[in-house]
Structures are given as C-alpha cells and as structure tokens.
Structure 1
C-alpha cells in the first residue's frame, strides 16, 4: 500500500513516510493510493474478534508487512490499548430502543482522541527506534519535533501518547481561554521535559493556520524535522476506522443476530458523529467504503455549522459569528470553521463527481487534485467555494447533516440524565455527545430496533463539567456537587491545583510560535 496527496502532485509514499511527514509536500493530505475492501467473508470472520484483534486485521489492510511485520503491529496494538479502562476499549451502550452510545472515552485522557493517539505515539517511537538502532552519539540520532494544534482533546491525548519518549519533542498549541479548564489542566500539568504547551491568543482556527504554516515552511520543517499529531496525520484516521467495525459487531451481538444473515440485512445503521475537524466521521467514511454496512453518516454540528450548510447546498462558506469569528459554544472541541480533514473527502467527491468522464483513468487523480487545490485557494482567498450539484449529490449518498444550538444541547443532557420514562436508565453525557444525539433525533425520521442510530460519545462528561452543570443546575432535587462527585474520575482529583508549565503568547502569529519552539529546542 502506497500513499498519495489530495492535491495530486505527490505519490508513492510509504506508510512510514506518510505518518512521519504528516502533511504532503504539495500542501495536501495523505490518503491511501486506493481504499482496500475488507475480505469477502469479513462479516463472519471478524464478528467475534476483540477490539485489538479487529484492529490488527483492519490496520493490516493499509500497512504492508514489509514495513511493519505482523507480530510487531500486533505488539503496537496491544501496547496502545493496554492503557484503556474498559475491556471492550470502545463499548456500546444502549440508552433506549434503537439508540446506542458508542463510548470512546475510556482511554487515559477520557476522550476519543486516545484511541488514535496512543497508537500514533507508539508508531512514532517504533519508527525512531528502528532508525536509531546502533546509534549512540546523541548528535547523530534521528529526532522528531511533533507540533499539534488543539481545541481541547487532541492536545492532552497527544501529550499522554508521546510524553517521555526518546528522541521526541512535542509542542501543543491551544487557544487561550477556549478549552475547558479540565482540558487545559490535563495538558499543562504534564511536566515531562519533552512536553511543551503554548497558549495562543486567538481561536483554534488560528492555531491550525499556524500549524499549516509551519509545515509549509520548508526550512523550518527540515531544520526541526516536524511531525504531526493532528488529524491531518493519516494514522489518526486509520486507527479510528476500527471502532466503526467494532461497534457494528457489538450491536449485532447485543441483538443476537448473526452478521451477514438476512436478519442482519434488515438492520439499518446510522452513525451520528459530533463533528469539528471532520476526522472522526471521515474514519466512518473509510469503513463504509471498505464494506461496512452503513445507512448514513450524520454530520452533527453546533452553531459553527459550515459543514451542515455544505451538505445542504454544496457551498463551503466561512460565515460565522457577528465579527466573522468562531462562535463560542458549550461544545468547544467543535468550535472550528475550516475542517482540515474535509479535504480528504473532497478529493473523493471531486474524483467521482467533478472530474470529466472523458479524462483517462490514469489522469483522474491529478485532475481531482487540481480541482481540490482550486477549492482550497478559493476558500482561503474568497471565503467560499461552490462544488456544484453533482458533487453535492454524491456527498448526500452517504452523508446527512444537522446543527444543534446550546439550548438544545442542554435540553438533551437534561432529558437523558432525568428521563421521563421510568423504565429508561439515566445517562450522563458531555455536550459534544449531546450534539450527536440531538442531531440524530431531529434528522433521522425513525429510530427503532431496525432503524438504529449509533451516536459517538467523544468525551467523558467530567471534562465539560461547566456545560453539564449549566444543563442541570435548575433541575429540582439535584445537588450538582454531590451528583458530579459520583461521576468524577479519580484521575481528575487534585488536577486543577497541580503544578503547571505553559508558555503564553499574546497573538496568533507564526513568528512567535517559531521563536518559542527554537528557544525550547536550543535548551
């Protein structure tokens, strides 16, 4: 399996090269040369596999054994998920008839990013150890400077995946005051010498723009050998495809239905995904393209609804906030205007629906890359691009979208924490999970035992306690402090008062970030 760029000018990269580079030299994102199909008998062959066993099978389709021998890959998978608190890694929880929550927050930082970043951290370490085998002189060793931007969860998950790893330095940029207090504490209280947090005066989009600028700065990138942990890194997307397959098999087991049977074919599954940078739902797209039976992928957005609007009219347009900035919401990990991973989907849409049918097959990738590059230039310079009716129709074959207000988010948190149906057990969800559930309830016309919704739960509610408190504070008979103490993970105790280390820069300027990185590495 080789990898290529969404801009059509870079090809034949190995998996290792794609992972370590993060961003393609032509400014695009790495994608596989082709999307492999799952084995013809996967519905029966994979049905009873554990998460780790399933991960090995899925990852093996994208990673040649000549690059990572199967036993080494198995060891990487086992080490990556040994840190999770639940035996199923990503358990499926039914909240009512037809509605299931896929809990992705059982990793070390209580967020879905752990599923990918524990694996990515071990991949970086594996590649570095192989490159540095037998090299004793520190000056001669191959080193990587990992730089990431976060709206909250990526930062802590990356830090916990990379902390104290040899020959790795990690810098995480986050927008000052725009991540939750728990998220900020999780990042800044990690005092390992190779971890550096940078608080940036601006928005997540500003941090993401700086990140892209650093990777486009060839001299800087070469000097410090930059690596990426944001979901622009292909390994992030790949690792996340596993839990789509795992949840499907978990669903059928819970219903006592045999995968591949006629009864299984009657089950229609919609995945509702709270969406910011588009990586989580993109993993679902790859799973679908590989053969996973999926009815729809539902893009659930908050007030920052550029993706919702795209799936309505085919126009991607940056109109948000009264001042043109990002809306601050109760689901801050989704407070994003430009979703980096959307470019990966756009490549496939362009190739399938925008490239003229007369173009030879051998030239379609290049033509699709040119189209995507044009769209990206228009978005940057004009603030919008229009893909046209054919591309929109292709997108809507598998995707739908919904947007959710803060008020609706709070109403959903309340409704499931204190259900009116006495037979329904209470369930506490964080605001991002609530966005996914709310969107599903408003968009999916029928939810029952045959029309199933699996809504992805991206974070433990304790990570967004302020939003949960806002939703529940007026509930009669609820003592919030006692209530939340019951769900607060022991790992969060004392976190808010622990020692911290962070560098604050007042403005979102690339030069200021370069100065911080250069200064820290010179030490």
Structure 2
C-alpha cells in the first residue's frame, strides 16, 4: 500500500517513509492511496481474537511493507507484559440503555494516547531502518496534555531517538504537568510555552517545514519526525480499537454482527474520531460518528454549517486536552471527502493560514454531514454530567468523557436515535481530580492540593486511583523551562547540543 499527501496527490511513498517523515515536505499529511475493504466475515474472525491479535490483523492491511512477524513482535511489546491494567487492553463497559463506554486509558499514562504511543516507537525505529535512514530521529511533540506524557513514556531511552515535548504553560491539568515534568529517561526533554496548544502546534509545524532548520539538523546527523497524530504511525493503531470495540459489543450480546453502531468521540485535534472514520470507510458498520467539543466549539460549528472559523475566543476549560481551535487531522478527512483532489485542500488551508477561515459547500459538506453529527457543552454542563452518571449509573467519568456523554444525551434527545452507542473514554478521572471532585461534591472540596484531592476522590467515589498517578506525589520536576513561542527552535537546538 502506498501513501500520498493531502497537498500533493502525485506523491507515492511507502508506509515506512510516511511514518519516518511524519509530515510531508509540502506541509500536507500522509493518507493511504486506497483503503482496504473489511467485510463482516473478517470482523467476525476478529471477535475470537485478543486485542494484540486484532491489532496484527488490522495493521497488516495498512502497513504492507512490514512482515506479519514484525507486527506480532511490536503488538506484543506494546500491549503485552502487563503494560495495561486490563486484560482486554481497552475494555467496553455497558452502562445500560444501549450505551457502552470504551475505556482507552488503561495504559501506563492513563490516557487513550497510550493505545498508539506504546507501539509507535517500534513502528518508527523499524521504518527508519527500512528506508536506510541512519540519522538520529528527533521527535517533536506539541501537546494539550495527554500526548506529551504518552509520547515521553513510549520513547524514553529508545535507541536512536530524541524527544522534546512542548505544552502550553497554563493549558494542562496539574497532574498532566507533573506527569510530563518528572519524566525519566536520558533522551527526553519537556518545555512549557507562553501560549495555548495551537501556538505550540503551529510552532512545531513551522520547525518541521523550515528548510534551514532541517539542513542544520541533517548536517549534525539528525532528522525530524512526529509523535502527534499528524504522523500516520500514530493514527493507524487507533483504527484498531474501533473494530475491537465493535467485536466486544458483539461478544457481549449488545449487538448482532452487522448491526450499526454510533461512536461518540471527545474531539480536539480530530485524530481520534478520524480513526473511527477510517474504520467506517473500510467497512465497520457505523450509523453516526458524533463529534463532541467543549466550549472551544469550532468543530461543532464546522460540521453544522461547513464554515471553519478560528477567529473566536479561546477558552481554558476543565477538559484541557480539547482546548484547540486548529484541528490538524481535519485536513485528512476533507482530502478523502474530495476524492483525493489536493487543489481544494491547498486552497482551504491557505485561507485558514491567511484569514483563519474557510468554507466547504455542496457535495463535500453533504458527504460529511451524512456520517458526522456534532455537539458541544460548557464546563458547568460537563460537571453536571459527571455527577449525573456517577449518581445514576455508578460510573465515574473524566471531564473529556463527560463532554462526550453530554453531547450524546443531547443528540439522543434531539434525534430519537436509539442505535447502540459507544463512547470513547479518553482519560482516567484521576488525571483531573479537582474538576471531577467538584462535580461529585457540588464544589465542596476539602482538599487543597492535587494529591489530597486524589485521596478525597477515592474516598468519596470508592474508585481507586491508578498507582502511576498516586506515585507522582513527592516527585521533583526535572524540567522547568518556560519560553516564548519564538524561542522553540532554540530549545530544540539546545536539547541536541547544536550551537
């Protein structure tokens, strides 16, 4: 299978080259030229397999320059040996009334990003060898919270790699910040920037596509890659868990083979829900993909109207991993909806860069609205939903999952759609102790620091915090740098000891 760029459809490269590069030299994102066709017989066979084996079957369809033996080795390394606290890796929990929650946060950093970032180091280092890249790989990451820690954990002390993570100084939860700044490993770096996630992401993209910076790295034996979902190697493992959730729902008797399902995904950079769209395009029986946003509702407006306009207020919310106004992976969706025509993509994203706004109309908008629905909610509604599901369903959701639950409740009330539904639960509630505790206790918090709140949340709810979070108590941050947006390049050179 070959890959092309959203901004140059004449480009044809292997999956190994796409994964190693991360982003195309023209600024576009890599997309498979064709999609595998997955029928119900194939899905039925997946139902009898465990998660590792399901991953091998799906990944082998997309990564055709990897042997089956390689993929077996990589999935075992990523999802085996007790790395995930659930035997099912990402279990599906039923809360009744046809509603199921896919818990994607059972990995080492308690966020859904582990599902891809535990296997990406295997894919990336192997890809570099396949294309005879003997340079040290420099991984730059912009994070709104969860990607940073998951990438650091995945790549720590991986031979032949260096990783530097940028996060917005006031745009992550205290637990997320502590997870990143206490990271162990000899090849890792972490830096806060004065700005929001979009500033961090734009800075990383600018560094990636700067020919002078790339030339300097090349002369010093380095080459860039990415661990954000702009990298195909980050996105393709996420396709697996939508097929897996469907299989688990069949096995649990929630649906019959061939029945359609809705998937509701709390969405920021559009990677997670895009993986669901890839699964749908390949043959997963999907009724609707429901895009759930917080107060930063640029995607809600876009799906409803076709107008993408980032010229709006930016809100810092209690679901910080979704505090994004520029959703990078939307470019891949539009490229596919345009039948791989790169001309409108270049036009729209030039307009986005120049004016912060573009509009899709006609057939492209109609095709998007056939599959996607959307909704949003604010912090008050998010916390009310956490309380509602804890009291009524005995289910404790984090703030991002609660956004998805609220959007789903509104969607179901508005449409009357009773299709069996899966909510993508993206993080442990203990990563956002203050907001979750405020929700279940109506704001009456006794604790005054993050770890006392963690203990109080355990006591109040009867849930046990993941030990990798509780064990952060008392750890001293290794990384304390805070820089301006225009100083990000200096941090990269400093990490690599380039003068």
Equivalent residues of 1:9, 1:26 under 8 A apart: no
Equivalent residues of 2:438, 2:445 under 8 A apart: no
User: Do the aligned partners of residues 414 and 499 (structure 1) sit closer, same or farther apart at CA in structure 2, a change above 3 Å counting?
Assistant: same
What residue in structure 2 maps to residue 20 of structure 1? 20
CA deviation after TM superposition for structure 1 residue 497, in Å: 2.5
What residue in structure 1 maps to residue 410 of structure 2? 442
Question: Within 5 Å, which residues of 2 pair with 1:328-477?
Answer: 328-351=316-339, 365=340, 368-419=341-392, 424=393, 426-445=394-413, 451-474=419-442
User: Do the aligned partners of residues 466 and 293 (structure 1) sit closer, same or farther apart at CA in structure 2, a change above 3 Å counting?
Assistant: same
State the TM-score, normalizing by the size of structure 2: 0.92
Residue deviations 1:501-521 (CA, integer Å, cap 9, x gap): 225233211xx1111111221
Q: Following the alignment from structure 1 to structure 2, what is the Cα–Cα distance between the partners of residues 320 and 471?
A: 28
1:170 matched to 2:167: no
Q: Following the alignment from structure 1 to structure 2, what is the Cα–Cα distance between the partners of residues 307 and 446?
A: 19
1:307 matched to 2:299: yes
What residue in structure 1 maps to residue 104 of structure 2? 104
SS in 2 for 1:444: helix
Equivalent residues of 1:191, 1:500 under 8 A apart: no
Pick from 257, 268, 280: which aligns with 1:288? 280
Q: Following the alignment from structure 1 to structure 2, what is the Cα–Cα distance between the partners of residues 160 and 237?
A: 18
Q: Following the alignment from structure 2 to structure 1, what is the Cα–Cα distance between the partners of residues 167 and 121?
A: 19
What residue in structure 2 maps to residue 354 of structure 1? none
Q: Following the alignment from structure 1 to structure 2, what is the Cα–Cα distance between the partners of residues 399 and 515?
A: 41
What residue in structure 2 maps to residue 137 of structure 1? none
State the TM-score, normalizing by the size of structure 1: 0.88
Question: Within 5 Å, which residues of 2 pair with 1:109-258?
Answer: 109-128=109-128, 141-222=134-215, 223=217, 224-255=222-253, 258=256
User: Do the aligned partners of residues 34 and 130 (structure 1) sit closer, same or farther apart at CA in structure 2, a change above 3 Å counting?
Assistant: closer
Q: How many residues get paired?
A: 482
Residue deviations 1:243-282 (CA, integer Å, cap 9, x gap): 101111111111176524xxxx3xx411000000000000
Residue deviations 1:109-138 (CA, integer Å, cap 9, x gap): 000000001110122233456678xxxxxx
Equivalent residues of 1:131, 1:142 under 8 A apart: no
Larger deviation, residues 24-33 vs 472-481: 472-481
What residue in structure 2 maps to residue 360 of structure 1? none
What residue in structure 1 maps to residue 479 of structure 2? 502
Q: Following the alignment from structure 2 to structure 1, what is the Cα–Cα distance between the partners of residues 243 and 111?
A: 19
CA deviation after TM superposition for structure 1 residue 157, in Å: 0.3
SS in 1 for 2:171: coil
Q: Following the alignment from structure 1 to structure 2, what is the Cα–Cα distance between the partners of residues 56 and 447?
A: 37
Larger Rg: 1
Cα RMSD for the two superposed structures:
2.2
SS in 2 for 1:177: coil
CA deviation after TM superposition for structure 1 residue 192, in Å: 1.2
Please list every run of 5 or more consecutive structure 2 residues that lacks an aligned counterpart in the other structure.
448-452
Q: Following the alignment from structure 1 to structure 2, what is the Cα–Cα distance between the partners of residues 127 and 348?
A: 25
SS in 1 for 2:177: helix
Q: Following the alignment from structure 2 to structure 1, what is the Cα–Cα distance between the partners of residues 264 and 36?
A: 24
Larger deviation, residues 485-494 vs 114-123: 485-494
Residue deviations 1:448-494 (CA, integer Å, cap 9, x gap): 99621111100000001111022123279999744425422222224
User: Do the aligned partners of residues 74 and 176 (structure 1) sit closer, same or farther apart at CA in structure 2, a change above 3 Å counting?
Assistant: same
Q: Following the alignment from structure 2 to structure 1, what is the Cα–Cα distance between the partners of residues 240 and 480?
A: 36
Residue deviations 1:303-349 (CA, integer Å, cap 9, x gap): 1011100111111011321xxxx211110000000000000001112
What residue in structure 2 maps to residue 521 of structure 1? 496
CA deviation after TM superposition for structure 1 residue 29, in Å: 0.2
What residue in structure 2 maps to residue 359 of structure 1? none
Please list every run of 5 or more consecutive structure 1 residues that lacks an aligned counterpart in the other structure.
133-139, 352-364
Q: Following the alignment from structure 1 to structure 2, what is the Cα–Cα distance between the partners of residues 131 and 19?
A: 11
User: Do the aligned partners of residues 397 and 494 (structure 1) sit closer, same or farther apart at CA in structure 2, a change above 3 Å counting?
Assistant: same
1:491 matched to 2:465: no
Equivalent residues of 1:428, 1:461 under 8 A apart: yes
User: Do the aligned partners of residues 409 and 258 (structure 1) sit closer, same or farther apart at CA in structure 2, a change above 3 Å counting?
Assistant: closer
